[in-house]
């Protein structure tokens, strides 16, 4: 069919959203699981009308200059810290993302990490694999009680709220800092506190804020020093919210008890990075939204954003609505 818009999708996406896009567009999809290099990405967008990007790509002014026909950027993620949104807005380019559809999956992952760290599940698996399980004894691999403990949520947005709902089911007391949705707070009986209070009173601190200049390294050496020595840190937000060097020191010196990280800085983190080998740290490879259902739903929403932008319609989820005047 003539005049079908050209789109570049920077990684293989699930079949259902791909079919929806292919029904209307001429699609080029990056065939590898690793991202295109900057040069490859610039070449790929040179003639396209639409771009579906992943969180691994840097979408900056140079990229936008390399794509003179671009009408829309549709991010296959809710987080958009890899995109220079101001540069897109300056070019009247709408940017879409995928909020909502990954809320529950990401909260599941955060709570799974909380439980795994609290009950030392990964250490337990290693213990059996290493043939260390010789007997039962009262002080064997003791962890932390979850029920009745205090959970501090940094960023009570959609995912923070879903995390709090899970915590409520475990009878936890919930504190939060950041996020101003009073309905979320009331729903879970969460108490708004200062960052200092949250850090010093929480048994578990879970990060759910976006990465912005304000939240970069919000968990730094000073913050870690305010946490309880028994505290457990969970990060399913973005690696850059935590100062990795400070966290490494805090875990090595038992300033805090444990960390469970779905996201890291740098990301991916190298297998020989010391955080990966600490007995009191769990690192998994950014799997918060990694279920078949959720990734398909993210793809459908990203497809809707992409197609709306190509048709000149308002994106269903637009992060820079000021492009519509």
Is residue 320 within 8 A of residue 85, CB to CB? The reply is yes
Instruction: Closer to ligand DGY by CB, 9 or 251: give it.
Output: 9
150 or 235: whose CB is closer to ligand DGY?
235
Q: Does 289 bind ligand DGY (CB under 6 A)?
A: yes
Q: How far from the centroid of its chain's Cα atoms is residue 68's Cα?
A: 30
148 conformational bin, left if phi > 0, alpha if psi -120 to 50, beta if neither: left
- The residue range among 14-22, 37-45, 71-79, 166-174 that interacts with ligand DGY, by the rule CB under 6 A, is 71-79
Q: Does 179 bind ligand DGY (CB under 6 A)?
A: no
Residue 78 found at the interface with ligand DGY (CB under 6 A): yes
| Extended beta strands in the chain, E state | 6-9, 26-29, 50-53, 72-75, 95-96, 150-154, 173-177, 191-192, 204-207, 232-235, 258-261, 281-283
319 binds ligand DGY (CB under 6 A): no
217 is catalytic: no
| Active-site residue identified among 267, 273, 295, 313 | 267
Residues 99-158 that bind ligand DGY (CB under 6 A): 102
Nearer CB in complex with ligand DGY: 77/231: 77
Q: Are 83 and 53 in contact (CB under 8 A)?
A: yes
Nearer to ligand DGY, 102 or 218 (CB): 102
Phi, psi of 149 (to 5 degrees): -75, 170
Query: In Å, how far are 153, 187, 215, 275 from 305, measured between CA atoms?
Result: 30, 30, 27, 38
Binding mask 212-251 for ligand DGY (x = CB under 6 A): ----------------------------------------
| Site for ligand DGY contains 160 (CB under 6 A) | no
CA distances from 106 to 18, 62, 80, 115, 161 (A): 23, 32, 16, 14, 11
- Picking from 160, 105, 166, 157, the residue whose alpha carbon sits closest to that of residue 296 is 105
11, 238, 257, 295: which is the annotated catalytic residue?
Answer: 238
55 scored as a contact of ligand DGY (CB under 6 A)? yes
Smallest separation (angstroms) from ligand DGY to the CB of 89: 20
Q: Which residue is nearest to ligand DGY (CB)?
A: 79
Number of amino acids touching ligand DGY (CB under 6 A): 7
Binding site for ligand DGY (CB under 6 A): 55, 77-79, 102, 288-289
Which amino acids are annotated catalytic? 238, 267, 286
């Amino acid at each position: 069919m003539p005049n079908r818009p050209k789109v570049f999708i920077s990684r293989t996406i699930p079949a259902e959203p791909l079919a929806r896009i292919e029904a209307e567009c001429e699609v080029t999809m990056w065939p590898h699981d690793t991202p295109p290099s900057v040069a490859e990405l610039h070449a790929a967008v040179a003639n396209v009308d639409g771009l579906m990007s992943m969180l691994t790509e840097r979408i900056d002014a140079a990229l936008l200059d390399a794509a003179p026909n671009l009408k829309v950027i549709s991010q296959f993620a809710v987080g958009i810290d890899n995109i220079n949104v101001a540069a897109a807005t300056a070019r009247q380019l709408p940017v879409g993302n995928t909020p909502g559809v990954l809320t529950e999956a990401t909260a599941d992952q955060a709570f799974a990490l909380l439980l795994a760290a609290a009950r030392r599940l990964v250490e337990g698996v290693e213990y059996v694999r290493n043939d260390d399980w010789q007997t039962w004894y009262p002080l064997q691999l003791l962890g932390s009680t979850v029920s009745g403990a205090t959970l501090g949520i940094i960023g009570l947005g959609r995912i923070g709220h879903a995390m709090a709902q899970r915590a409520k089911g475990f009878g936890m007391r919930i504190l939060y800092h950041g996020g101003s949705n009073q309905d979320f707070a009331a729903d879970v009986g969460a108490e708004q506190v200062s960052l200092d209070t949250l850090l010093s009173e929480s048994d578990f601190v879970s990060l759910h804020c976006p990465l912005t200049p304000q939240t970069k390294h919000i968990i730094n050496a000073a913050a870690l020093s305010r946490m309880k020595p028994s505290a457990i840190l969970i990060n399913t937000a973005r690696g850059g919210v935590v100062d990795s060097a400070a966290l490494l020191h805090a875990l090595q010196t038992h300033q805090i008890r444990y960390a469970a990280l779905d996201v890291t800085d740098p990301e991916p983190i190298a297998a020989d990075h010391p955080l990966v080998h600490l007995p009191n740290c769990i690192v998994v490879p950014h799997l918060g939204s990694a279920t078949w259902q959720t990734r398909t739903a993210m793809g459908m929403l990203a497809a809707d954003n992409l197609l709306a932008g190509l048709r000149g319609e308002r994106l269903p989820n637009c992060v820079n609505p000021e492009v519509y005047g």
